[in-house]
Structure 1
Amino acid sequence: MGKCRLTGRIVIPDDPEYDLAREEFNTHYDLFPSVINFCKTAEDVSNAVCWARKNNVKFRIRTGRHSYEAYSSLNNGLVIDISEINKIKVNHNTRTARLGAGSLLFPLYEKLYEKGYTIPGGTCPSVGLSGLTLGGGWGMLTRPFGMLIDQLIELEMVDAKGNIIVANSEQNADLFWASRGGGGGNFGVVTSFLFNVIPVDRVATFNIVWDWKGFDRVVEAWQKWAPFTDIRLTSILDLLTKEKGEIRALGEFYGKASELWRLITTLIKAYPPKKIEVNNVPYIDAVKMFGGMIPGMEEYSVSHGDPDAHPFKNTGAFARELLPPKAIKILKNFLSNAPSSENLVELQALSGRVSEVRSRETAYVHRKALFNLQYITKWENEWEACANTRWVEGLRDCLLPHADGAYVNFHDNCIDNWLEQCYFKNLPRLIEVKTKYDPENLFRFPLGIPTARR
């Protein structure tokens, strides 16, 4: 195997599988790479980086294809796809697991669950482990176990010279710091992670649905409860459009259903629900529930050509204080006048173990946030794109006095001060690390961290 030549599986435009290979989850973007390199090993990745550097070919790094602005692909360049680097190896003695960085979440959860473990990752079944982790990573076990990066011990990375290096608390410690929240695509190509894994068997879940008339009271009650309740409980609140006419709260409790009933009393009393479900379930069934998968399905194929792929424009912000009534009114007004009935706002409870880590201890800086707000819009016809994009960006702008900052995994090219909003006081150090490990800015994309020499 020679350096500076592509190895692994190669797909080019003439190949019959090219259209499937180039597809992104956000179908608003229709990109045409010159070469797609499906790497199977770290050596394949090293060869791809060397080849791109030697031939002065622009490239992007891709795992699950979920970049909101499709920055994991490009026209007329190389896509380094690591989704086939997906092996796992669990060490029961140390309760750790070496995970291929290209793993997609649902297959990964299944494999870990078979061995009695999990990691506190995200919910979408086809999201890639690498991008999720490098941005910070949260999900339904965030409050009891922190961000996904808080369970990260070590990573293996191909750097800008094509070298395969290791980063942990002792070796390349500055790179390890930056890789915990600095975002994917900035410093190199991660090929594997070493995580602490969490023993898991059964968990309790809840699903409460209200009529839209209870909007103000439910939002008020949820935000005063979700970041402060029992640390074993993580909850989200989905605010649907007035046209859809519902609000729903869901959550996962690292405990028993009998305890969970007591904990959700506050929400039940806020406004009479029209539906309440509390269940004690195998953990993998909870994964399916929060991943939007049909309960009880025997098979679920997380593959490219995802049937759930659609055009969308999402963005978000962090609330470090409770939303005042005027902010709740803004949410209500926007959801009353949404251009698509499919639009929604999702509140993700944080705090808990997340806030126990200092904001400078990792690159992920939003440690004091009580919850994140994700503003979500999708459409079917291309002529609907402008109205929905204006809606989601207008909502974020109107709520900036009450919720700001940006999550690096929610790429949004409409935010002018993107880097400052993502990293706040950690940005200068991230630029230093970027300059040290990638001085020529080989790893670059429109919202990426720059080097000190622009």
Structure 2
Amino acid sequence: MNAMSFTALEGGKTTVDAAALETLSTQIRGTVLREGDAGYDGARSIWNDMIDRRPGLIACCVGASDVVAAVNFARENGLLVSVRGGGHNIAGSAICEGGLVIDLSMMKSVRVDVAARRAWVGPGATLVDVDRETQAFGLALPTGINSTTGIAGLTLGGGFGWITRKYGLTIDNLVSADVVTAHGKLLRASETENADLFWALRGGGGNFGVVTGFEFKLHQFGPQVLSGLVVHPFADAGKVLREYRAALETAPDELTCWVVMRQAPPLPFLPAEWHGKEVLVLAMCYCGDIEAGEKATQKLRAIGTPIADVVGPNPFTGWQQAFDPLLAPGARNYWKSHDFTELSDSAIEITTTAISRLPGPECEIFFGHVGGVAGRVPADATAFPQRSSHFVMNVHARWREPAMDKACIEWARDIYEASKPLTAGTAYVNFKT
């Protein structure tokens, strides 16, 4: 291996000699890839197709010792570094230009202790890996809503989804983490060991080291949940959102209901004449007894005159993957996000008006429904700052052709700026671009 030029941590370029490169290759049990190697292009490709960066090297790690070797190599040579877990981060932080990527995607193990209700999860695992293994034993971890998301990035940013209101954020269920620091030291972080680091890892993002393993507490849950979609004509959106807001005032922690506004995809339960037309969707999940869920969802399902109501018992693992076809890799994506303590009439007006000028058929706005148990954790207990928020708005611009970049990005930014005065003043770190 010849000497190579890299992007330096402090900017500019730096050269690493052949001997140092050879030492790294011998220290790592996984694979070290450079441009031109088989597998390089696949390893630098991530969920957001807008990200097209070319690292100098990609260290494909298979264990913590590989991570230590990669971190030491980067520090000793002053290299720009990024860390790839599931590769799902919207801003593309997994891949750096010209530097060293520490790729954890092969570290996908999930081990469950049923009696202790604990799971030990590798940083390369995705939500589907966690869901399948935990649900096999009637257990669950509160995570996100797109099963291809990596557990590492989701956790470090907070993590919320269908069962967060009942069981807390993903970070609220983190018991410990193994972390390689910038000095190449492998530490355990928990409430009793390196507690300051543990505090920062829970919501502070991937800024404090490379996590090589997570220990989570699990909850007895599933395998069936009451879940599904109620689809409304977009002409009724304002009325539906105001009644939705009122219905949630008495919602139990077990009930979560998100709002999605977009053009209708060709879903099999929708009449063909609605395909491609603007709709408002109430996506709900009740994590408890099915009969109790039927009662708890009555107010939401009684709103307006829906086009379709497909709420019913479903396997939790299936519901966790319900939105995957709309969020598959291969598209260009740009997000802007705000937290809201309330869904005001002004917020409703701004977002519904924006749907009337969608720049493309895959663009959407959603409101994630949070609060519940997650909102009752003290604000200073973790580095996650948004405990008082009840809704997370994400303006999701999604398209295929680079020629649409300007129109889609401006659409998202315009909504973000217009709604900013109505917000809690915070934004979910995992949704930031």
TM-score (norm 2): 0.88
1:386-425 correspondence runs (5 A): 386-403=406-423, 404-412=425-433
Is the CA contact (8 Å cut-off) linking 1:339 and 1:387 kept in structure 2?
yes
Q: 1:304-362 deviations in whole A, cap 9, x for unaligned?
A: xx9632111112111112312x3211112111112213211111111100111011111
Is the CA contact (8 Å cut-off) linking 1:315 and 1:375 kept in structure 2?
yes
Are positions 1:254 and 2:254 aligned together?
Answer: no
| Secondary structure at the counterpart of residue 273 of structure 1 | coil
1:190: which partner in 2?
211
Q: 1:264-284 deviations in whole A, cap 9, x for unaligned?
A: 222233311111122212222
1:2 offset after TM fit, Å? 7.5
In the alignment, the residues of structure 1 paired with residue 317 and residue 347 of structure 2 have an alpha-carbon distance, to the nearest angstrom, of 36
In the alignment, the residues of structure 1 paired with residue 249 and residue 23 of structure 2 have an alpha-carbon distance, to the nearest angstrom, of 53
* CA pair 240-383 structure 1, distance change in 2 beyond 3 A: same
2:361: which partner in 1?
341
In the alignment, the residues of structure 2 paired with residue 92 and residue 377 of structure 1 have an alpha-carbon distance, to the nearest angstrom, of 41
Please list every run of at least 4 consecutive aligned residues from structure 1 whose deviation after the TM superposition is greater than 4 angstroms.
1-6
* Stretch deviating more after TM superposition (255-264 or 401-410): 255-264
1:82: which partner in 2?
104
Report the residue type matching 2:152 in the other structure.
S
Are positions 1:277 and 2:305 aligned together?
Answer: no
Q: Of the candidates 45, 50, 55, which is equivalent to residue 23 of structure 1?
A: 45
Is the CA contact (8 Å cut-off) linking 1:244 and 1:341 kept in structure 2?
no
* CA pair 292-382 structure 1, distance change in 2 beyond 3 A: closer
Is the CA contact (8 Å cut-off) linking 1:208 and 1:249 kept in structure 2?
yes
Are positions 1:362 and 2:382 aligned together?
Answer: yes
Please, what is the CA RMSD of the aligned residues?
A: 2.0
Q: 1:220-262 deviations in whole A, cap 9, x for unaligned?
A: 1223333640111112110115963211111111123332232
Are positions 1:130 and 2:152 aligned together?
Answer: yes
In the alignment, the residues of structure 2 paired with residue 223 and residue 36 of structure 1 have an alpha-carbon distance, to the nearest angstrom, of 47
Q: 1:106-138 deviations in whole A, cap 9, x for unaligned?
A: 122112222221200112122111100000000
1:112-127 correspondence runs (5 A): 112-127=134-149
Is the CA contact (8 Å cut-off) linking 1:320 and 1:368 kept in structure 2?
yes
* Stretch deviating more after TM superposition (264-273 or 76-85): 264-273
Report the residue type matching 1:378 in the other structure.
R
Q: 1:23-47 deviations in whole A, cap 9, x for unaligned?
A: 1211112111111111110110000
Report the residue type matching 2:297 in the other structure.
I
1:106-185 correspondence runs (5 A): 106-184=128-206
Is the CA contact (8 Å cut-off) linking 1:318 and 1:369 kept in structure 2?
yes
Is the CA contact (8 Å cut-off) linking 1:99 and 1:194 kept in structure 2?
yes
Report the residue type matching 2:396 in the other structure.
I
2:247: which partner in 1?
225
| Secondary structure at the counterpart of residue 295 of structure 2 | helix
1:199 offset after TM fit, Å? 1.6
Report the residue type matching 2:217 in the other structure.
N
| Secondary structure at the counterpart of residue 47 of structure 1 | helix
2:329: which partner in 1?
308
1:263: which partner in 2?
296
Is the CA contact (8 Å cut-off) linking 2:108 and 2:125 kept in structure 1?
yes
* Residue ranges of structure 2 left out of the alignment (5+ in a row): 1-21, 265-275
In the alignment, the residues of structure 2 paired with residue 2 and residue 266 of structure 1 have an alpha-carbon distance, to the nearest angstrom, of 64
In the alignment, the residues of structure 2 paired with residue 329 and residue 321 of structure 1 have an alpha-carbon distance, to the nearest angstrom, of 14
1:172 offset after TM fit, Å? 0.6
1:289: which partner in 2?
322
2:5: which partner in 1?
none
1:323: which partner in 2?
344
Is the CA contact (8 Å cut-off) linking 1:218 and 1:267 kept in structure 2?
no
Is the CA contact (8 Å cut-off) linking 1:319 and 1:369 kept in structure 2?
yes
For this pair of structures, how many residues does the alignment match? 398
Is the CA contact (8 Å cut-off) linking 1:348 and 1:371 kept in structure 2?
yes
In the alignment, the residues of structure 2 paired with residue 127 and residue 342 of structure 1 have an alpha-carbon distance, to the nearest angstrom, of 19
In the alignment, the residues of structure 1 paired with residue 75 and residue 26 of structure 2 have an alpha-carbon distance, to the nearest angstrom, of 11
In the alignment, the residues of structure 2 paired with residue 153 and residue 141 of structure 1 have an alpha-carbon distance, to the nearest angstrom, of 18
Report the residue type matching 1:29 in the other structure.
I
Are positions 1:59 and 2:92 aligned together?
Answer: no
| Secondary structure at the counterpart of residue 182 of structure 1 | coil
Q: 1:21-80 deviations in whole A, cap 9, x for unaligned?
A: 111211112111111111110110000000111112211001111121211111111110
Are positions 1:377 and 2:391 aligned together?
Answer: no
Report the residue type matching 1:386 in the other structure.
K
Is the CA contact (8 Å cut-off) linking 2:343 and 2:391 kept in structure 1?
no
* CA pair 373-123 structure 1, distance change in 2 beyond 3 A: same
1:103 offset after TM fit, Å? 0.7
In the alignment, the residues of structure 1 paired with residue 159 and residue 111 of structure 2 have an alpha-carbon distance, to the nearest angstrom, of 21
Report the residue type matching 2:253 in the other structure.
I
In the alignment, the residues of structure 2 paired with residue 4 and residue 22 of structure 1 have an alpha-carbon distance, to the nearest angstrom, of 18
Instruction: Name whichever structure is richer in strand by fraction.
Output: 2
| Secondary structure at the counterpart of residue 37 of structure 2 | coil
| Secondary structure at the counterpart of residue 429 of structure 2 | coil
1:42: which partner in 2?
64
In the alignment, the residues of structure 2 paired with residue 154 and residue 227 of structure 1 have an alpha-carbon distance, to the nearest angstrom, of 35
* Residue ranges of structure 1 left out of the alignment (5+ in a row): 294-305, 413-454
